Amino acid sequence: MPDPAVPPTPPVPLAALLAREDLALRQIAGPEDPDTVIHWAHTSEMADPYPYLLGGELLLTAGVHVPGAAGTGTYFDDYVSRIVAAGGAALGFGVAPVHDTVPRALVAACDAHGLPLLEVPPQTTFSGVARAVWQLMAQARLAELRRVTEAQQSLAAAAARPDPVPAVLRQLAGRLGGRAVLYGPEGAPLAAAGRQVPDEATEALAALAREVTRRASATATDTRAGTRLAAYALGTGQGFVLGVAAPRRAAADHTVASVAAVLLSLLTGEHQSASGAARSSALVRLLLGAPPEEVAPLLGAGAWHVVHARPDTGAPDAVAASALGAALGSPLVDTGRDAVRVLVPADRAPAPLPGWTLGVSAAVPPGDWPAADTQAARALARARATRAALVRHGDRPVLADLVAPDEAAAHARALLAPVAGRPALTETLRTWLSLHGSWDRTAVALAVHRNTVRQRIARCAALLEADLDDPDVRMELWFALRRL
């Protein structure tokens, strides 16, 4: 029998459909197994429904295809065997208007092939049965989403406890009704929580954990002694594995275990690796007053990019920020309210990432990190305004470099003196000029209303006593703003 190509929705227990009093369905043949589930309902009057089934269906028929002498031959036996071969989960036979009762030969064939057979009464339409299946699916999906949300919240709270790793394992084991084990790089269990499982399952889970560290896939599953097993390689690069054993596997179990694996990756990665110790040392030295250039060698030699990033879906969160750092190849991540900041070694030039908008600074030594932070913030604002996936700060030589820096700075201060004490005006003018005078893009970049941009630019023009429509004036102001 082929594996059913089922949709990514929770299946519906056949017992739940039979319990619907409004349908009045009755099972009259086949095994009454509480684990029997259906993934959808399909109506067909074909004599051979096999080519039209994907697997997991409740097939509904009124028997239009049944020939008059079907009860004396092998017709029903052939018909049911084809449904079973296609992976059909159950058969519903509608009584009236074609048949007054369910044919006895069909009942016998379903019993012989182990296919549940339901009698659909005359007052119940096939569309009503299909609607009930989708209603039960929607209820199951809502319950699954609620379960995942509650599990995420409880696992995150456990990760914030003083004993985070055991707390996460206890919470996960309770949520799955089984056992959760953290295996170390050598395959030995470091911590465990939950109910005991058979020795055979315990040994198989340990073997599965060792296997997952040697294969390309990050997960592996198995079943032993009636226990469902799963192993998840943690993304720490240190060989840690999360093992899960449970008597049953519900639809949301994999999602819940994956959330726990991400949290355990963060908890084990920071404290178990040499790079994590170096980062902790660098942080302590900075807090104690050491300059950035002194602690930078602990993080890696050379120049660095500062990257400001914002997810396209809204405000960033800790898990998304951690994934961004992994994609950029750097664990030096700071999650802010509106953007994520990442320090990236210059030899790992950031590239566009799906789902993120990036602003990248020039490659600078540690002493220039504050200036690079400003560059990255402005690059991100420009990227958002122009709807670009990534914008880099331009650091190529420009015409203004031909002027002595002291003279250029003095000229800039004199030219911009009327607005120098008004940061909102100078930043608006800078952004407006960089976006070629676009009101809408400037408003997006600064997160203000376009009328506010117009008012500020008009105020700048009045204070500077300049015609901002003149390209020569714009160019001179742009050079001055860059010097400041």
How high does pLDDT run on average in the chain? 85
Question: Which of these three, 100, 135, 170, is where a domain ends?
Answer: 135
- Same structural domain for residues 430 and 371? no
Same domain? For 48 and 120 the reply is yes
For the entire predicted model, the pTM comes to 0.46
pLDDT at 404: 65
Percent of the chain with pLDDT over 70: 89
Predicted confidence (pLDDT) at residue 216 exceeds the cutoff of 70: no
Question: Over 50: is that where the pLDDT of 343 sits?
Answer: yes
Instruction: For residues 43 and 129, state if they share a domain.
Output: yes
Same domain, 16 and 131: yes
pLDDT at 411 over 90: no
**pLDDT at res. 3:** 46
Domain identity same for 358 and 414 = no
- Give the tens place of pLDDT for each residue, 197-211: 899 999 999 999 888
Please give the Cα distance from 335 to 353 (Å, whole number): 17
Query: Does 280 or 245 have the greater pLDDT score?
Result: 245
Q: How many domains does the chain have?
A: 4
Confidence of residue 27 (pLDDT cuts 50, 70, 90): very high
Q: Which residue has the higher pLDDT, 349 or 363?
A: 363
pLDDT of amino acid 237: 57
Q: Give the CATH number for residue 230.
A: 3.30.450.30
Q: pLDDT band for 217, please (50, 70, 90 cuts).
A: low
Q: Is residue 287 part of a domain?
A: no
- pLDDT score for 118: 97
In a domain, 257, yes or no: yes
pLDDT given at position 272 = 46
Q: What is the mean pLDDT of residues 396-411?
A: 65
- pLDDT at site 1: 40
Residue 110 lies in a domain: yes
Angle at 411 between CA 406 and CA 414, to 5 degrees: 125
The verdict on 432 and 326 lying in the same domain is no
Q: Is residue 383 part of a domain?
A: yes
Q: Does 423 lie in the same domain as 387? A: no
Q: Is the pLDDT of residue 283 over 80?
A: no
Q: Confidence band (pLDDT; 50, 70, 90) for 238?
A: low
Model confidence at 65, in pLDDT bands (50, 70, 90)? very high
In a domain, 150, yes or no: no
- Same structural domain, 406 and 381: no
Judge if 335 and 415 occupy the same domain. no
pLDDT value of residue 15: 94
Q: Is the pLDDT of residue 409 over 90?
A: no
177 vs 273, which has greater pLDDT? 177
Same domain, 42 and 18: yes
| pLDDT level of residue 312 (50, 70, 90 thresholds) | confident
Q: Could you tell me the residue range of the domain that residue 460 belongs to?
A: 399-483
Higher pLDDT, 155 or 277: 155
Boundary of a domain, candidates 392, 409, 425 = 392
* 273, pLDDT greater than 80: no
* 34 within domain boundaries: yes
* 407 in the same domain as 353: no
**When comparing pLDDT for 117 and 250, which is higher?**
117
| Domain assignment of residue 152, yes or no | no
Residue 116 included in any domain: yes
Last residue of a domain, one of 392, 417, 440: 392
CATH at 64: 3.40.1390.20
Residues 311-339, mean pLDDT to the nearest whole number: 76
Range 452-476 average pLDDT: 91
Supply the pLDDT for residue 410: 85
Claim to verify: residue 314 and residue 403 sit in the same structural domain: no
